Structures are given as structure tokens and as C-alpha cells.
């Protein structure tokens, strides 16, 4: 893929250097194909729970990584959910669903990835002026840890919050 500003051109090599980092839970070899195994938890394992994995960039990225590192195709994942807390009927507390990935989904993932990297690079040294996206402020039943920063009333207060932050970079190689 080639990155031109914020768009990805299919079939062209990308000159961007970036790393997609994560830690997949399992990788199953099934004949000549790989299947990502992803373990998840949730208070409910209903259709809303499933819908978050159908287009998940995490799972798509893991499929691409598995294909890249092994040379084998990986076009779907098995998402295994466990309900927490366990209900009165323990058998209802587990759900397994296959989620497929198509070539178009891989292309959309690449576009999302390049766009995300471009945005991070654009605002890295000027986070105070970065656009504010409020769709995830209370995701997964808890507030975003950056909510105090976004809600600060002045540039000075935002700068104070930034000065108190610690830089911590996670790497799966350190686990």
C-alpha cells in the first residue's frame, strides 16, 4: 500500500515506517490456513458483544501480522467470549464466534492504520491544539483517563497536566 496524505493506494508499496503492536492470544494452524484465537470477556455475550468484533481493527491487524510472519493465509479469527461474572447457568457464560476478514477489510484496515499514524504524527508535538473526538470518552463502562485533560478550561491547565504525565511505551517483547 502507498500512503498519500491520508489515503492508501492499493497495490503500491508504502514508504511509511510504523509498527502495529499487540499480543494475540492464540494462533491455530488448520490445514494450510491460520486462525487467530482471541479471548475476550464481557458482562453480556449478546449480539452487541459480537458486533464489536465483526469489524475490529485489532483482529484484522492480527490476521495480517500472522500472514506476514508465517507466509500462510489468515482470513478469520475465533473470538471466544467469557461472561464475567458467571451467571446461574454456566454454559451461557461462554460464546465462540468466527469472524471472517476479506481483502477489502484488509485494505480498509491499512487505510485506517496509515490515517491513524498520520494523525499521531501531525499532533504529537501539539496535543493541545489537536481535534477532540468524544465518541469514546466513556467506553467499556469507565471514563477515559484523558478526560481531565480534554475538560480542562485553559491552555495553562492543559500544559500542567501534560507536564505531570509519564511517558510509558508498552512492548510485547518486554512481557
- Tens digits of per-residue pLDDT, 114-169? 999 999 999 999 999 999 888 888 876 788 889 999 999 999 999 999 999 998 88
Cα–Cα distances in Å, from 63 out to 23, 67, 102, 105, 168?
Answer: 12, 6, 11, 11, 27
pLDDT over threshold 90, residue 76: yes
Tally of structural domains, the chain: 2
Same domain, 50 and 38: yes
pLDDT at 89 over 90: no
pLDDT at 50: 92
Q: Which residue range forms the structural domain that includes residue 143? A: 126-175
Strand order in the sheet with 94-100: 26-30, 33-42, 76-83, 94-100
59 against 30, higher pLDDT? 59
Question: Are 27 and 93 part of one and the same domain?
Answer: yes
CA distance 39 to 80: 5
Among candidate residues 53, 45, 46, 26, the one with its CA nearest the CA of residue 37: 26
* Co-location of 105 and 140 in the same domain: no
31 with 100, same domain?
yes
Mean pLDDT of the chain: 87
Same domain membership, residue 69 and residue 115: yes
- pTM here is 0.79
Q: What is the mean pLDDT of residues 52-56?
A: 94
Amino acid at each position: 500500500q502507498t500512503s498519500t496524505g491520508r489515503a492508501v493506494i492499493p497495490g503500491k508499496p508504502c514508504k511509511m515506517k510504523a509498527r502495529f503492536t499487540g499480543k494475540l492470544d492464540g494462533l491455530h494452524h488448520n490445514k494450510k490456513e491460520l486462525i487467530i484465537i482471541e479471548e475476550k470477556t464481557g458482562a453480556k455475550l449478546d449480539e452487541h458483544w459480537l458486533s464489536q468484533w465483526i469489524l475490529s481493527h485489532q483482529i484484522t491487524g492480527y490476521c495480517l501480522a500472522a500472514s506476514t510472519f508465517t507466509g500462510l493465509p489468515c482470513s478469520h479469527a475465533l473470538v471466544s467470549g467469557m461472561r464475567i461474572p458467571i451467571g446461574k447457568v454456566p454454559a451461557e457464560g461462554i460464546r465462540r464466534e468466527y469472524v471472517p476478514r476479506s481483502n477489502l477489510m484488509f485494505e480498509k484496515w491499512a487505510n485506517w492504520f496509515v490515517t491513524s499514524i498520520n494523525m499521531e504524527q501531525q499532533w504529537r508535538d501539539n496535543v493541545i491544539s489537536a481535534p477532540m473526538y468524544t465518541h469514546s470518552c466513556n467506553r467499556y463502562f469507565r471514563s477515559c483517563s484523558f478526560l481531565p485533560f480534554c475538560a480542562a478550561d485553559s491552555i495553562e491547565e492543559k500544559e500542567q497536566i501534560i507536564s505531570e504525565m509519564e511517558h510509558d511505551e508498552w512492548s510485547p517483547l518486554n512481557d
